[in-house]
Structure 1
Amino acid sequence: MRRLVEARARHLGFCGMRITRPDRVPELPGRLSAWLAAGAHGTMDWMAERADQRASPAGLWPGVRSVLVLAMSYRPEEDPLTLLDRRDRGAIAAYARRRDYHDVLKGKLKELGGYLSAKGGQPVKVFCDTAPVMEKALAEAAGLGWQGKHTVLISRTHGNWLLLGAIYTSADFEPDAPGRDRCGSCRACLDICPTDAFPAPYRLDARRCISYLTIEHPGPIPEEFRAAIGNRVFGCDDCLAVCPWNKFARTAAEARLAARDDLAAPRLAELAALDDAAFRTLFAGTPVKRTGRDRFLRNVLIALGNSGDPGLAGTAVDRLADASPLVRGMAVWACGRLLGAEVLRGLHARHAAGEADPHVRAEWDRALAA
């Protein structure tokens, strides 16, 4: 049965499949509890809401006896770090420059789960980042790889550009040996982080992580992180891109995960001009759309402020009258970075008199005082 399922998984485009049992992650409850207690999850309250199920596969589904963990590669064709020097362009995380992986993987996992259920006569449940499942910990327990010092799963044969999914089944499979840590003394992923989001190896403080700040964080991004964000407008690939194990990775084989050329290096000025309809059209079918236009433009305006190009200030000025206070506030910050004091005072006179939002008013006060 296992050989049949593995062959089917390869046919569906998965680059790896390993199996573990629900009781083979005994350290997970303690690790998760400590992380949550430290507040390192930031505003991701959903991490805590079903923590008992997240920490125990059997807590999510008492009938589970085996967990099949599957991986699909999305290695980008070019080094994402090269885009960081093009300050007039927006850097979008590699996984988000393509079709939403939830849609692609979930369909393939359902097909594989249906195949397993039909062949073995046992019920299955399929998960792909849509339920309280700790895929990385399960993948390590199953032997797909190990969680590196940046907390992302690393495979000896596929690097760390991996999308993960899980199939819970009541079928009793022989489990694989767990993955073994092979990071050694390497600190590349820790040292490159622009915001020092790793308080220690194997520990991530999401509150300092650019991926969290530009995707999950709902409000204004704290000022202490804005300069470090650079031109990253959705996510961050730095710690992934420097992993030496990526030398063994292959580019994405699944056609529906092919990167879109128009999202490789979009112009910040064009992104800043997007209204809601244009935003939805441009990012239809991608993970970026789920973040929403206002949060995305917040990121774009931070990137504009970091561009160092006064010629781009006009697009930030246009957003000072935006309907969203989140966008207006970051437009103020961008203008403060790109324009002189006299011009900024004139903009304040035109735009700040009727400003009701306290966050935007605070941005004006800080910009004028700088």
Structure 2
Amino acid sequence: MECGYYDRDLCRSCTVIEVPYEQQLARKQELVRELVGAHGEPRWLPPVASAQAGFRNKAKMVVAGRVGEPTLGILDGTRGVDLQDCPLYPEPITRALHGLAEFTARTRLLPYDVAKARGELKHVVVTANPAGRLMVRFVLRSTRQLPKIQENLAELRRLVPAADVVSVNLQPEHKAVLEGPEEILLSEQGELSMPVNGIDLRVRPRSFFQTNTGVTAQLYRQVRDWVDAVDPTTVWDLYCGVGGFALHVACPDREVVGTEISAEAVASARDTARAMGLPQRGPGSVRFLVADAAATPADLPGTPDLAVVNPPRRGLDASLCAWLEGSGVGHVVYSSCNAKTLARDLARMPSLEPVEARLLDMFPHTGHYEVAVLLRRR
């Protein structure tokens, strides 16, 4: 992939962009095979490659610069570097970033100055679905300039006409945390539809969704294929997010329960299940609970035939590993963005043997990836 920002030494976020993509993929495959291989010898399916450009469905842009002359991109120390034309983003996001820069300048929103710890607008976050519809979020330090955004929503619609969801997040603290706990919805629509494999998932402003929709679709299909081959009667989807795995494995003879600590994500998952006409009890049911995955097994009756886990980079809590190891659950599907913590967790669950695995390259030009493993009780 060609990137003028990288060539001009303005941005080095894509740390391995100079490595041919085939080699990037091979290096990641070698790494995950070595880490997982210490705990079994699964059959490795061919790796899933990504598009090399335009694959990211979300742009998290730091706002810097001056009133009337904002930059949207990253910080070089405390200086803003404008990355509105970053080739990682698809055209709808690029157009939106240009529109948001113009909106920020015209409404004279005050960029946050990290060095002086003053100013108001910290970030803009844009999420795009496959059809090019958008969710736009402004991250402000306070409500001081909220009225400016509210009063100029018509102008925002003109400059970013694809924005279906618009919100403001308040992050008053001076630290490197993207968002705060309070979200103020400014649009009538509160969720962005995210169609994946024929399932119209929904994403709210504070919901997590994988950043590479194309590879995510293949991840969901892979997990669905594994679950269907095992053919369990009961499935628990721990760390379920907006319900992607749970809704993909739903079928008439199966009961599926998803748990997630984010109430926003669970609300989105429930909306999708309701729209699909899925019952909440009995065969064919899918239900979602707001719960900490580590504590969930103690709160749910019985033991599922199969569990799906998709933890953050830190991996599973030791308590959840201990429960899975001693529970008698027959199969586990583990989707991981960090093979080092995956390997640590496999060591904690020696009764669960890796039988099939696949690398899915969510993040080209970096050292990051997703790896999914099917585990079977020995």
**Structure having the larger proportion of residues in helix:** 1
Which structure has more relative contact order (CA 8 Å, sep 6+)? It is 1
Answer yes or no: same fold by TM over 0.5: no
More strand by share: 2
